Amino acid sequence: LASASWAAGSSRTAQLTIAMPGGAHLLEWENNLCGSMQIAGFGPGRKVVEHSIHPYDNGFTTVGTILENDARYAGHPKALYAITRRLGFVALPDGHTCLWFSQAQANLNCHLLEHRGLGFNLANDLFNGHVRHVYTSHGCLLIQGLASDQGVVNTDSGWLHLDEGIGLTMLGILGADSFSIVTVPERNAMWQSLLYDQICYPYKRLSRTVQAGETVEKAAVLFITGNLPADLQDIAKPMDSSGDCWLIHGRDKQQYIVAINFHPDDIVCHLPAGDEGEWQTLAGPQPAGDHVVSVPPDQVAVYQLKQK
């Protein structure tokens, strides 16, 4: 189960909200799963340019484009955005599996100071006793809700199990080799209504020049809810080296293929042929001959193997 909304809070802000099951106290909604960057001379302003949502039985896909880091926050007289981010999200019909995709490019030459990919806002306040249990490939981390100071916890793990029955595994395209958790010492939600930590992939504190047109983020993360399998990393397999097309083993024992296109031209995805059944289109274009699919720019395609 999942939900998504794209909203423009004003002429200067925007947000994408995706809620995962596990309790109303789990997430801080504002800008959840949007990621963020700190750019010298630019502020945090966002603007949703376009978006689309395609529902199907027990699931949906959504994709959209956000302009980020508005120079007006730093005193510039006109809107000038440093980053263009494309976000995609897929909720599969099994009710337990979701995929998150992000690709961000620089609109101009700029200086990148901090990079927070993913930006999964994990509430850590009164509702859960100010502590989160995060299980990694190296054991359990206790994340205190009122940390003594702001810090970054490098989990050194490519997957996480959260104490609310949610699992995350990175699908690894361009980014770090593990998740990081950014902690804060005081409530940081709007009007100081809630304290939330932030799970990031990747997280980088750096100082480097980014060239106009450069891809500064291309990342994908898989979410699983409910009774989590022992190895999350066996659930999704890439179908090519680009990271645009994935074979997913759903919790309903069905196979799915998800393809997302953030390129300027069509991409081609080949659906495996076999005797197990036929591929049913849930979202996106119908397959052509020989199980070939051509996915247009800024679209998501989802196919389910209907077994004989």
- Looking at the DSSP bridge assignments, the partners of residue 267 are 295
- CB burial of 35-57 (b: ≥16 within 10 Å; e: otherwise) equals bbbbbeebbebbbbeebeebeee
Question: Which pLDDT does position 11 carry in this prediction?
Answer: 44
**Exposed, middle or buried: residue 213 (CB in 10 Å: 0-12, 13-18, 19+)?**
exposed
Question: Which pLDDT does position 295 carry in this prediction?
Answer: 95
* Total-model pTM: 0.91
Question: Which pLDDT does position 118 carry in this prediction?
Answer: 93
Question: Which pLDDT does position 150 carry in this prediction?
Answer: 79
Instruction: Look at residue 124 and tell me whether its pLDDT is greater than 70.
Output: yes
Distance CA 145, CA 149 (A): 11
Instruction: Look at residue 16 and tell me whether its pLDDT is greater than 60.
Output: no
CB count within 10 Å of CB 275 equals 5
**Average of per-residue pLDDT across 73-96:** 89
Sign, CA torsion 242/83/34/49: negative
Strands 299-307 and 277-283: antiparallel
**Average of per-residue pLDDT across 269-296:** 85
Weakest-pLDDT range from 85-94, 130-139, 164-173, 179-188: 164-173
Question: Which pLDDT does position 218 carry in this prediction?
Answer: 93
Q: Which residues, including other chains, have CB under 8 Å from residue 196's CB and lie 6 or more apart?
A: 27, 28, 121, 122, 123, 124, 125, 184, 188, 189
**Nearest Cα to 219, choosing from 41, 25, 37, 74?**
37
Question: Which pLDDT does position 10 carry in this prediction?
Answer: 44
**Average of per-residue pLDDT across 224-253:** 83
| Average pLDDT value for the chain | 86
Amino acid 49 reads V
Weakest-pLDDT range from 67-71, 160-164, 202-206: 160-164
Question: Which pLDDT does position 15 carry in this prediction?
Answer: 52
Phi, psi dihedrals of residue 264, rounded to the nearest 5°: -75, -20
Query: In this prediction, what percent of the chain has a pLDDT beyond 90?
Result: 51
pLDDT band at residue 135 under the 50/70/90 scheme: very high
Tell which wins on pLDDT, 84 or 241. 84
Tell which wins on pLDDT, 146 or 275. 146
Write out the two tokens for 7. 């909203």
**Average of per-residue pLDDT across 170-197:** 86
Range 3-241 has CATH code 2.70.98: yes
Could you read off the pLDDT of 153-162 as tens digits, one per residue? 999 999 999 8
Could you read off the pLDDT of 46-67 as tens digits, one per residue? 888 888 999 999 999 999 999 9
**Average of per-residue pLDDT across 37-44:** 92
- Looking at the DSSP bridge assignments, the partners of residue 160 are 168
CB count within 10 Å of CB 227 equals 8
Q: Which one-letter DSSP state was computed for residue 286?
A: P
Weakest-pLDDT range from 3-7, 96-100, 143-147: 3-7
Instruction: Look at residue 229 and tell me whether its pLDDT is greater than 70.
Output: no
pLDDT band at residue 13 under the 50/70/90 scheme: very low
Instruction: Look at residue 248 and tell me whether its pLDDT is greater than 60.
Output: yes
